[in-house]
Amino acid sequence: MDLVKLKSFLYAAEQLNFSEAAKRLHLTQPTISHHVKILEHELGTELFDRSGAKLRLTEAGRLLLPSARDLIKKCGDVKEMMTSLDNEVVGELNIACSTTAGKYILPLLAARFCERYPGIRVNILGCTPPHIVPRLLEGEANLGVVSSEIAGEGTESQMFFNDYITLIASADHPWAVRPSVSPDDLLGERLITREAESGTRRMMLAELAKHDIALDDLNVLMTLGNTEAIVHTVAAGYGVAFVSQLAAECCLNQGKIIEVPIPALELKRGVYMMRPKIDNPHRAQEVFWSFIHDPENEDLIRLAEIHQ
């Protein structure tokens, strides 16, 4: 099976449009169409339903799609491995990130990594915590960044950096003149929280439970799936929230919000990097795994601890 024709099918299947596939592959639309027709002839079945106004995959096309992705990925991995034999690290590195804090540190680290290893292209993929391990084990990601250490078969993890969660309020909130607050003070405030899967929310509830405060005891105004949205909603005066200090830093510096000390809560957590355990390690993955703790990167790793 010709990988060039298989790639034409893959891009056409993902876009459901021969012209868009042609643009991505820098080919002409007739060339893509010709490749697909030859592949259909070789397989003895139609891969696309062309009868309607919009291109659709047939059942055979849907069955072929995941295998096509896997074959093309494996072919790329072989090429990268062969190229890397001369000690030049090349290829593509996919990192799935499920934590807000990681989204602030990881891009800076990845950019520095790409400067040192220009033959590697890094892709940072947004991901929810429950999907990190499946994406690693299924080969969709080479590395994962999570806000709690996940123990499981087939993966291993190492400490990345410490993240600090902070309680924030608007600049004109009454708490602005108080040196600190207690967990019980939260009971009378409107609280804005992250979704249930969020590491920040889990940590907040675990700490409050030590003071016999449960989610039902709190006056939750709303739940938002984006930390930046929470910060701006708090700045507008609609409630208080627990967020990663990294996410709050910009608005804190601008004076739009304040950081409210709550000494009774231990709001420090580890952020971890994960990878799959495999017999033949991905070269770029191996290099990045070691790179994050290169002494030259201590300034980035300690960004989360600047205000502590």
pLDDT band for 297, please (50, 70, 90 cuts): confident
Same domain for 280 and 292? yes
What is the rounded CA–CA span in Å between residue 159 and residue 231?
27
> Does the structure show a pLDDT above 80 at 150?
no
Asked if 107 contacts 124 with a C-beta cutoff of 8 angstroms, the reply is: yes
Q: Are 9 and 20 in a shared domain?
A: yes
Query: Which range among 10-24, 167-181, 272-286 has the greatest average pLDDT?
Result: 167-181
Examine the domain organization and report whether 68 and 50 are in the same domain: yes
At residue 177, the pLDDT reads 93
Q: Which of 129, 243, 131 is nearest to 194 (CA)?
A: 243
Q: Look at residue 280 in the predicted model and tell me its pLDDT.
A: 64
| Poorest-pLDDT segment among 113-127, 210-224, 227-241 | 113-127
The DSSP letter of residue 179 is S
Q: Quick one: pLDDT band at residue 294, thresholds 50, 70, 90?
A: confident
Segment 167-214, tens digit of pLDDT = 999 999 999 999 999 999 999 899 999 998 888 999 999 999 999 999
Domain with residue 45: its CATH number is 1.10.10.10
Same domain, 51 and 181: no
Confidence of residue 306 (pLDDT cuts 50, 70, 90): low
Tell me which of 8 and 101 has the higher pLDDT.
8
Give the residue from 251, 300, 242, 248 showing the smallest Cα distance to 271. Answer: 300
Q: What is the pLDDT of residues 43-56, one digit of tens each?
A: 999 999 998 888 99
Last residue of a domain, one of 53, 68, 84: 84
* Residue 249, Ramachandran bin (φ over 0: left; ψ between -120 and 50: alpha; else beta): alpha
Burial class (CB in 10 A: 0-12, 13-18, 19+), 130: exposed
Same domain, yes or no: 183 and 225: yes
**Structural domain that includes position 248:** 162-268
Of 67, 84, 101, at which residue does a domain stop?
84
- Work out the average pLDDT over 256-277: 93
Same domain for 42 and 118, yes or no, is no
User: Which residue, among 115, 128, 263, has the nearest Cα to 197 in the 3D structure?
Assistant: 128
Return phi, psi of residue 68, to 5°. Answer: -65, -45
Task: State whether 218 and 72 are in the same domain.
Answer: no
Domain count, the chain: 3
pLDDT band at 165; cut points 50, 70, 90: very high
Q: What is the DSSP string of 99-130?
A: -HHHHHHHHHHHHHHHHH-TTEEEEEEE--HH
Q: Both 237 and 185 in a single domain?
A: yes
Fill in the amino acid letter for 99: T
Say which range, 18-22, 84-88, 238-242, 243-247, has the weakest mean pLDDT. 84-88
**185 and 256 belong to one structural domain:** yes
Which residue, 173, 151, 177, 164, is CA-closest to 267?
A: 164
Same domain, 201 and 283: no
Q: What is the pLDDT of residue 298?
A: 86
Band (pLDDT 50/70/90 cuts) for residue 307 is: very low
| Averaged pLDDT of the chain | 88
In terms of domains, do 18 and 153 share one?
no
What's the rounded mean pLDDT across residues 206-223?
96
- Whether 143 and 284 share a structural domain: yes
Give the CATH number, domain containing residue 218.
3.40.190.290
**CATH number of the domain to which 117 belongs:** 3.40.190.10
- Does this model's pTM top 0.95? My answer is no
pLDDT tens string 97-140:
988 878 889 999 999 999 998 989 999 998 888 888 888 888 88
Listed residues 42, 67, 84: the one ending a domain: 84
